[in-house]
Amino acid sequence: MVGGMTTQQWTPPRLGSRYADEFPELSVPWEAARADEPHLVALNEELAAELGLDADGLRSTEGLLMLVGNRVPEGATPVAQAYAGHQFGGFSPRLGDGRALLLGELPDGRDLHLKGSGRTPFARGGDGLAAVGPMLREYLISEAMHALGVPTTRSLAVVATGNTVLRESPLPGAVLARVASSHLRVGTFQFARSSGDVDLVRRLADHAIARHHPHAADAENPYLALFTAVQSAQASLIADWMAIGFIHGVMNTDNTTISGESIDYGPCAFMESFDAATVFSSIDAQGRYAYGNQPGIMQWNLARFAETLVPLLGDDQDAAVAQLTAALDEFPAQYNAAFHTRTRAKLGLAGGDDEVAGPLVEDALAFLSGARADHTSFFRQLTTAAGGDDGPLRDLLADRADGLDSWLSRWREAGPSAEEMARVNPIYIPRNHLVEEALDAATAGDPGPFEELLAVVTRPYDEQPGKERFAAPAPPDAAPHVTYCGT
């Protein structure tokens, strides 16, 4: 203390370096690029509090330096993580964090990861950087997903670096500070497996079990149990996505987590008019990652995961393959059951007789698909209909209401619960045209629209007076929405 004044400097939290220490084969110690003039664009105070991090501290110079990777907290060994992956079906043996670093593990065991922190040895042709717009996009979508109850990586902050990133035009650069229960991917296992070091795969599997699926350790065959645990988590996750019309857009095996969290929001977008063939990504010309293909693609990705585990299951490789194949064959039934449960809840029929609810679910989905109705509005207006007013539903469907009346009367007889429906059918999702509008404004220096949209979509089930615009689909004359990868 000098002259009665305390100039207390914030000290970053002590981080763990467990992954860096345990897996030198799967990581490269690395330093973030220097940010010339870091300034805060978005800070998730709620998440900061949950992590025991002081928001004012994060806003301080020391905090910003930590969030761009220029101040390494005590205990941390920042690394770029190695992974492989099947991208659009083709195997790339060496992907890895080309523009990101795992800073370390937070006191609760979760990863603190920085995206856009400069080139690493995995950067290949990339510049290692990220622009403010795409990092705010990941922030917004991941926080909306969390609010919608979907397992996901979280976003702690977006810090503009003060550096320029060259895309089609010069853009302000940024780093996203991401929090995840881990960054273990199917691609991490593929990288370990293709090294030929079976002991490394075993250590990685043990690490994954300890971190995400601890009950698997007590199973007769822990590695088979790890596989089935990941499969269950992913079946549930994809059912969550499908129930809200979410299209990930780039479901490569390196973007498929072992924890069952959604990760890497690049070209993702939400479906509006129901169409199973919906694709938004400019590079997905074949529609591999279309809305309706997501469950099948996840099963394919899980097959790639299973292949990495074969040597761990026992000496008899044929028996190992048979066991994993039998487990994998359960995926469609698991996914269908999870999706059916969610759709039943969306129709307010969670309780009651399956023989009554089953056909109602089937027919509702067929109707939705035939009418090409806006996915989110359809279920929300049904919610209003369950409360007694089917006017908004009829307005939504207009001249596409053929067959609605008979379905509605059967459904009403089954006694749908409007309260339950209101808890699972969102009013607000991050609609593509609003996201683009908000990101354009933020990139141009006006954070207002982003903040407003974020506030709306992180309370997706609450009626918010004055925010009707945020519940409406894109205007019919809007150009088709297109998303881009690697932005």
Q: Which residues bind ligand AMP (CB under 6 A)?
A: 95-99, 122-123, 126-129, 250, 255, 264, 266, 485-486
Residue nearest to Mg ion (CB): 264
Give the C-alpha distances (Å, rounded to integers) separating 263 from 225, 237, 246, 307: 23, 11, 13, 22
Contacts of 253 (CB under 8 A, 6+ apart): 84, 85, 86, 185, 186, 187, 190, 301, 304, 305
Closest CA to 384 of 427, 343, 323: 427
Contacts of 342 (CB under 8 A, 6+ apart): 239, 240, 242, 243, 424
- For the CB of residue 195, give the shortest distance to Mg ion in the complex, in Å: 20
Instruction: State the CB neighbour count (10 A cutoff) for residue 443.
Output: 17
Instruction: Specify whether 97 is catalytic.
Output: no
- For the CB of residue 264, give the shortest distance to Mg ion in the complex, in Å: 4
User: Does an H or E element contain 465, and which?
Assistant: none
Residue of 254, 284, 374, 390 with catalytic role: 254
- For the CB of residue 211, give the shortest distance to Mg ion in the complex, in Å: 19
- For the CB of residue 160, give the shortest distance to ligand AMP in the complex, in Å: 16
Residues found near Mg ion in the complex (CB under 5 A): 255, 264
- Choose the one of Mg ion, ligand AMP, none that binds residue 123, judging by a C-beta under 5 to 8 angstroms depending on kind: ligand AMP
- Choose the one of ligand AMP, Mg ion, none that binds residue 126, judging by a C-beta under 5 to 8 angstroms depending on kind: ligand AMP
Q: What is the DSSP letter of 328?
A: H
Torsion of CA 386, 391, 397, 398, to 10 degrees: 160
Torsion of CA 131, 132, 137, 139, to 10 degrees: 120
- For the CB of residue 185, give the shortest distance to Mg ion in the complex, in Å: 8
- Residue among 98 and 416 whose Cβ is closer to ligand AMP: 98
- Choose the one of Mg ion, ligand AMP, none that binds residue 427, judging by a C-beta under 5 to 8 angstroms depending on kind: none
Task: Give the integer Cα–Cα distance in Å for 275 and 145.
Answer: 21
- Residue among 92 and 255 whose Cβ is closer to Mg ion: 255
- Residue among 182 and 381 whose Cβ is closer to ligand AMP: 182
Task: Give the integer Cα–Cα distance in Å for 211 and 190.
Answer: 19
- For the CB of residue 14, give the shortest distance to ligand AMP in the complex, in Å: 27
- Residue among 99 and 146 whose Cβ is closer to Mg ion: 99
- Residue among 301 and 334 whose Cβ is closer to Mg ion: 301
Q: Are 196 and 205 in contact (CB under 8 A)?
A: no
- Residue among 81 and 255 whose Cβ is closer to Mg ion: 255
- Choose the one of ligand AMP, Mg ion, none that binds residue 324, judging by a C-beta under 5 to 8 angstroms depending on kind: none
Task: Give the integer Cα–Cα distance in Å for 159 and 165.
Answer: 14
- Choose the one of Mg ion, ligand AMP, none that binds residue 127, judging by a C-beta under 5 to 8 angstroms depending on kind: ligand AMP
- Choose the one of Mg ion, ligand AMP, none that binds residue 128, judging by a C-beta under 5 to 8 angstroms depending on kind: ligand AMP
Active site residues: 254
